[in-house]
Amino acid sequence: MATTLANASHLRYASATSHEVFMLRRHLLALAVIAAPVAASAQTQEVNVYSARHYDTDAQLYEAFTRETGIRVRTIQGDADQLMARIQSEGANSPADVFITVDATRLARAAQAGILQPYAIPHVDERVPAGLRDPNGLWFAITKRGRVIMYDRQAGPPPGLTRYEDLADPRFRGQICVRASNHPYNIALATDMLAADGTEATEAWARGVAANLARPPQGGDRDQFRAIPSGQCRIAIANTYYLGHVGKSESPADRAIFERIGVIFPNQAAGDRGTHINVSGAGLVKTAPHAEAARRFLDFLVSDEAQRIVALGNMEYPAVPGAPTDPILTAMGSFRADSIAALLDPARAAEALQIMQRSGWR
């Protein structure tokens, strides 16, 4: 696991948000910290973040927080399951203050494992919609990403492909590229299917998708839609932000691929459930040694500046309504999103993975 340090505690405080109410609350919170006992105040000069996010823009996020507060951010990066196991093994002596991951099911698992405590920040609850927060106040979403169907614009949208369920139709035999079934993004999608359609229908769907694969699952999401122009597949299943990164690339070859790829936001008909989304989210570790600093960091994650950094910098949809979305994502089209409620049951996610693996989707 890599350890990184945002060495910016010497920088002066410089707020970047124009929201007056937000700033008033921020200053009140700062005064509360200053007024605390000296020993507690000393503890607030750093916050330790265990993060399963691995994006360059997150360094900008940490630096912006340090500029504003003088609090250093130390990060441990790794796989979410490994980070959770580490927090549990470290026990009461864990240095972890904040846990961040990129999958709602893993956030739910962290809550079930008892490694999180209520963050108790009213401003977070005001900014982030209830459907993107833990009902017990243990975590909240930072960003969203849609898992969509992609196709070759030159060939046109595949006829009859408007829902995830349609991916199992035999008319698409040998046409689909998708990564391995055991990746969290595919587990989440199958979990959503299981909640919506039930076990029997999800079994049939997974078998149909496996039968329609153009090749054995391989690589990441970018590899799926990159295989479309070469004719290896006609349809790809991938997350929106991967295509967004290709569209924003300085490489002419990447931009040509972006222009070639069309996007279908599935399940948009009236009465249908909407396009599947997943979230990046954060929670306050139960044994956080720097709890007050951690709460200031969590509060910062929903600020105008932080939402701009993660949304525009990493091509994700912001969790805070009204925060900016990159024009490249906007150009892909608007959509109605499904709820993430189905993803908050780790047992259902485990069943979804078993279904996919039994189906032959490896």
Q: For position 36, what pLDDT does the model report?
A: 38
Structure tokens at 304: 């105008």
Give me the mean pLDDT over the 250-258 stretch: 96
- Is 151 annotated to bind a ligand? Reply is no
Structure tokens at 330: 């906007």
| Contacts with 99 (C-beta within 8 Å, 6 or more apart), sequence order | 50, 51, 83, 84, 87, 110, 115, 116, 139, 282, 283, 285
- Is 241 annotated to bind a ligand? Reply is yes
Residue 322 DSSP code: T
Does pLDDT of 260 surpass 60? yes
- Is 62 annotated to bind a ligand? Reply is no
Domains and CATH numbers, the chain: 3-142+279-325 (3.40.190.10), 145-275+329-359 (3.40.190.10)
Which amino acid is it at 288? A
Q: What pTM, to 2 d.p., does this model score?
A: 0.87
Decide if 243 contacts 202 (C-beta within 8 A).
Answer: no
User: Is residue 290 classed as helix, strand or coil in its secondary structure?
Assistant: coil
Give me the mean pLDDT over the 255-276 stretch: 98
User: Is residue 58 classed as helix, strand or coil in its secondary structure?
Assistant: helix
For the beta carbon of residue 261, count every other beta carbon within 10 angstroms: 21
Rounded Cα–Cα distance for residues 266 and 335 (Å): 9
Rounded Cα–Cα distance for residues 28 and 20 (Å): 12
In 144-197, which ranges are continuous DSSP H helix?
184-197
Please state, rounded to an integer, the average pLDDT across all residues of the chain. Answer: 90
- What is the band of 66 on the pLDDT scale with cuts at 50, 70, 90? very high
Closest CA to 172 of 209, 226, 216, 217: 209
Decide if 122 contacts 295 (C-beta within 8 A).
Answer: no
User: Is residue 234 classed as helix, strand or coil in its secondary structure?
Assistant: coil
The string of pLDDT tens digits covering residues 202-213 is 999 999 999 999
Closest CA to 211 of 242, 171, 161: 171
Which amino acid is it at 159? P
Share of the chain above pLDDT 90, in %: 87
